[in-house]
Every structure is written in structure tokens, then in C-alpha cells.
Amino acid sequence: MFVETKIKHHVVLTDRDRSMLSVLSHCVKVLSVEQIKRTWWPGGGDPRPRLKRLEGAGWVERSQAIASVPSRSLEPLAVWCPGHPEPDWPAIIASSRARWRADVRAMSLVSVSESAAVHFGGTARYPRPSEISHDLLVAMVYLNFRSTRPRDARVWIGEGTLAAQAGDASALPDALLKRPGRPVAIEVIGGSYRRHKLKSLHDYCAEQGWGYELW
């Protein structure tokens, strides 16, 4: 049964609305307006009037933030499978830090509201100010999967859902590809990551029997 929500005004959701809200409820914490435009308005047009209406109806929350803008050219920094040697941590950290030397600028952000996340059977997790750039890159990786690895995008489980299932988000990756047989963790390497954090993630995934991709 549908639970009580704080959605204030009736808006007939389009398929595009539902797709975007589902992604924000299940896959990523936040999307930039630019990411939304490229993904759900690829033929042109301005999504901001629709987002404003969805915000007024209680479906989304909009905000402004200063964030870095990594390159759109995405490749994993490392791919690991159980039984293989550990990756080269210093090389991964160096590559990650080089990637984060990007310009920073004001960005318009969109998150799902708590009531909308409940409606879509997901969770609302708002990025901390210090993690916005990281969370936007997580979203960029997911959106890249949608266009280049659609099968993996369909089995992508975001951190919010993983935390709700596990009850503890401290050791969880940013996402999990729930592939049949062997899940694969997805972790975006932040600019402040150190070897011990990566080693902890490696040990956790090895204990679970998961492979992982570091981005």
C-alpha cells in the first residue's frame, strides 16, 4: 500500500520523469542538471522548467554547489577478480589525483525527495558538501554504463540500497553490479583516498567473494 508522503501537488509523471526519479532512488545520490539534460533531453530543450515543477510537487530537491568537473573520458583505474594479485595502489592513487585536478565551478544539482524515494521503493541519500564532486563522478560512471554497458546498468545497485540492506555503510562500495554468479563492486576513487582505504575495500570485497572496478 502506498505510504503517506509529502508530495504536495498532483503532477502526472511522464516516462522520462519516472526513469530519472528511479535512477535517483536506486542508483545515485545526485545528478547535475547537465547530466540530466544529456541523458533525458538528448534532443535538446531545457529540463529546468520541468525540474522546477517536479520540485514544487515534492518529487525532487534542487540545490547549488561548487564542484570539480572531471573529464568525460572514463576508463576504470583498475579491475580486480578474486584470486588475482592486488592492484598497484600507488599508481591508482596517482592517476586518481591527476584526474581530480579539474576546474571547479557552480553547478545545479538534483536529488530525489525522501517521499519520492519511498514511492519508487528506494532511498534518498543526500551528498555531503565535501563529497559532491565524488558523487557526481559516481553518477557519471553510472550514466556511462547506461550507454556503453546497459546490461550492467540494469543490475547496478546503489550505495543507498546496499546500506539499507546491510545496515552499515562504512565498508560498502559506491555500487554493486549484482551479476549472476559473482557480483562486482564499483568504487569511485576520491582525491583524498589513501592506500589503507583502498586496501580495506579490497579486503572487504575479497571476503565477500566479489570482484571490483575502481574508477
State yes or no: pLDDT of 190 exceeds 90.
no
Q: Which domain holds residue 49?
A: 15-214
Give the three cell numbers for residue 95: 592517476
What is the amino acid identity at position 197?
K
State yes or no: pLDDT of 7 exceeds 60.
no
What does the pLDDT read at residue 72? Answer: 58
Q: How confident is the model at residue 63 (pLDDT cuts 50, 70, 90)?
A: very high
State yes or no: pLDDT of 65 exceeds 80.
yes
Residue 5, domain member (yes or no): no
Residue 153, domain member (yes or no): yes
pLDDT higher for 117 or 171?
117
What is the amino acid identity at position 17?
D
Distances (CA, A) of 6 to 21, 43, 58, 85: 16, 33, 7, 50
Average pLDDT of the chain to the nearest whole number: 90
What does the pLDDT read at residue 23? Answer: 98
State yes or no: pLDDT of 77 exceeds 80.
yes
Q: How confident is the model at residue 4 (pLDDT cuts 50, 70, 90)?
A: very low
Domain count, the chain: 1
What does the pLDDT read at residue 57? Answer: 96
Indicate the helix (H) or strand (E) that contains 24: helix 15-26
SS3 177: strand
State yes or no: pLDDT of 25 exceeds 60.
yes
State yes or no: pLDDT of 2 exceeds 70.
no
What does the pLDDT read at residue 83? Answer: 93
Residue 72, domain member (yes or no): yes
**Angle between the N-to-C axes of helices 48-56 and 33-40, in degrees from 0 to 180, rounded to the nearest 10:** 110
pLDDT digits (tens, 9 = 90+) for 97-151: 888 777 788 999 999 999 999 999 999 988 888 899 999 999 999 999 999 999 9
